[in-house]
Amino acid sequence: MCGIISYVGDKDINSVLMAGLWRLEYRGYDSSGVASVMDGELEVRKVEGRLMNLQEILSDKPLGGKVGIGHTRWATHGEPSDQNAHPQVDCNENIAIVHNGIIENYYTLKEELIKKKHIFKSNTDTEVIAHLIEENYDGDLKESVLKSASRLEGSFAIAVIAASEPDEIVAYRYGSPLIVGLGKNENIVASDIPAVLDHTRRIVILSDGEMVVLRKDKVEFYNNKGERIEKEEREIKWSPTSLDKGKYPHYMLKEIYEQPEVIERNIALRMEDEGLNFGESFHFSPHELAHLSHIVIQACGTSWHAGYIGKYLFESLARIHTEVDISSEFRYRNPVMDGEPLIMAISQSGETADTLAGLREAKAKFLNVLSLVNVRGSTIDRESDSTIYLNAGPEIGVASTKAYTSQIFQLYLFDLYLSKLKWTMDAPEIEKRVKEVNEIPEKMRKILGSADNIRKIAEKYKDSKDFMFIGRGINYPSALEGALKLKEISYIHATGYPAGEMKHGPIALIDENTPVVAIAPHSSVYEKMLNNIEELKSRGARIIIIASLGDKRVKELSNDVFYIPPSEESLSPILIALPLQLFAYYIAVLNGRDVDRPRNLAKSVTVE
């Protein structure tokens, strides 16, 4: 979380830093700040709240100078406030630092530094780094950063400037991403590639334990022993995302509406006449996959829900035993990995700290990792043996929408591929399913075309305090996702449950104030779902059913119905996702929430 931008060059430091911060805002937005060296002195501007606040401060009191660092924060240690915003500075106001990550031994270091008479002004772990560098400083910023980094535990990407060395920036990466943009008479360090693309397309990605010293006309890379190293330069061919919402009031709505196009794009890329093509980063041989007996999927949040759907898919179609785990659990539970399972990491951003750590756990056990990632060149992409790209285009809204349906889509196609290799599906069956896949974008468009019905239903329920989402089989994870989508953007409590589990406890919560969203398209568990809905209805719940078009039975069971076009059961989660996303979106908007930047959240969760 947190976004870092630092610049050395002749352009106006205010515009460069602010433009970079706007591109990084998705990483955190509870406070922000910038610093530069002006006439031999450190100048710092920082403020709590959205980036607009910083922009206003800079309009009144702009920075000058040729080197600058900037930061947009997602608070870990210390509440969002002016004082806790980065940059953090040392006692002498010589050194300024911006940081992404968590310093796990900050408390011990702070005690040690307080004993040495350092005065702390914030509650952040980051300030410890500023004072540590000050403690180690004897006129060489690079050396003092190196020495200080060796004392830090946890994860950190930092960029540091010093008033006493006004021509350079020193940056160090350990556990949180950092990339360098190489320009002509200017150089940049940032958390993410789009933040440098307005200036250059030549980039270098730092690895853990590497440091870079940037001057206007020189960039030097070092390892953690302080030895010079050579780094590979890459040219970025794609363009930075337009920050334009087009005709939509929110990115989230725009991204919801982009979903048919995303699936169409993936159909074109993946489904060739000769068979399925998972792209240039997919390196498994058919032979290897034909012998696969066990898959372990690990991911967080919405990506975990997609992974859960993957479990139902792989077990029912390709008949491969599949486990799915939340990455923050997977990484610490020392799972038994007998039989060389394929590990799958699913991540929109490709930077989620827990998913990355899970991937590294698997690699340490010499297991093959296949990732599903939207952001090319992200750390998870780079560290995986193979990657299937989501090709969803940049997702800016914090709530994942189009990446989620693309994740399910890729899992479905990968499942068909495995089913063919393992002979669990015959050719006519595969052909039938391929035909169904081709119909998905049109079905999605039909659902989006009736968004107004969902808005009307949302209006009826917008003031409810608790929601229950239920589903069974492959749409049990859809229920989890529906509840997550609603709570994360509306701040209304919502729980997802397998419908058959309600009578084992949660049914006690049901009364006439509890809306239940029941996912009940025609499927192998349809009758079971109707029984579960009856049980809730007889206890007074207000029932909203998502059902297959033409289903008359659900009418008498429900207060409201939203119909979706019928589909093959294993593809239904892709269609079900749309009304769930729209329902959450409208309820959040009707409650006046900032749906694209909900409180306390960030798009990219790079701390554990």
Asked if 298 touches ligand M6R (CB under 6 A), the answer is no
Radius of gyration of the chain (CA): 26
Strands (E), 255-379: 271-272, 275-276, 294-299, 321-326, 342-347, 369-373
For ligand M6R, the closer CB: 302 or 391: 302
Q: Is 206 exposed, middle or buried (0-12, 13-18, 19+ CB in 10 A)?
A: buried
Site for ligand M6R in 480-509 (CB under 6 A): 488
Rounded to 5°, the CA angle 179-185-186 comes to 35
For ligand M6R, the closer CB: 300 or 468: 300
**Annotated catalytic residue within 110, 254, 402, 603:** 603
Asked if 605 touches ligand M6R (CB under 6 A), the answer is yes
Q: How far is the CB of 303 from ligand M6R (least distance, A)?
A: 4
Q: Using H for helix, E for strand and C for coil, what is the string for 47-96?
A: EECCHHHHHHHHHHCCCCCCEEEEEEECCCCCCCCCCCCCCEECCCCCEE
Q: Strand 31-38 and strand 67-73: pairing? A: antiparallel
**Helix (H) / strand (E) containing 164:** none
Does residue 603 carry a catalytic annotation? yes
Sketch the per residue contact string, 429 through 468, with ligand M6R: x for CB under 6 A, - otherwise.
----------------------------------------
Q: How far is the CB of 540 from ligand M6R (least distance, A)?
A: 31
Asked if 581 touches ligand M6R (CB under 6 A), the answer is no
The encoded tokens of residue 152 equal 């830090």
Q: How far is the CB of 380 from ligand M6R (least distance, A)?
A: 8
Asked if 387 touches ligand M6R (CB under 6 A), the answer is no
Q: What is the DSSP letter of 559?
A: S
For ligand M6R, the closer CB: 36 or 352: 352
The encoded tokens of residue 249 equal 């009031």
Asked if 384 touches ligand M6R (CB under 6 A), the answer is no
For ligand M6R, the closer CB: 27 or 443: 27
Asked if 144 touches ligand M6R (CB under 6 A), the answer is no
Sketch the per residue contact string, 323 through 362, with ligand M6R: x for CB under 6 A, - otherwise.
------------------------xxx--x--x-------
- Binder of ligand M6R out of 313, 326, 398, 499 (CB under 6 A): 398
Residue closest to ligand M6R, measured at CB: 301
Asked if 607 touches ligand M6R (CB under 6 A), the answer is no
Asked if 523 touches ligand M6R (CB under 6 A), the answer is no
Q: Is 250 exposed, middle or buried (0-12, 13-18, 19+ CB in 10 A)?
A: buried
For ligand M6R, the closer CB: 3 or 65: 3
Nearest residue to 121 via CA among 157, 155, 152, 85? 85
Please, what sign has the CA dihedral across residues 219, 222, 226, 228? negative
Name the site residues for ligand M6R (rule: CB under 6 A): 300-303, 347-349, 352, 355, 398-400, 488, 601, 605
Task: Please identify every residue annotated as catalytic.
Answer: 2, 603
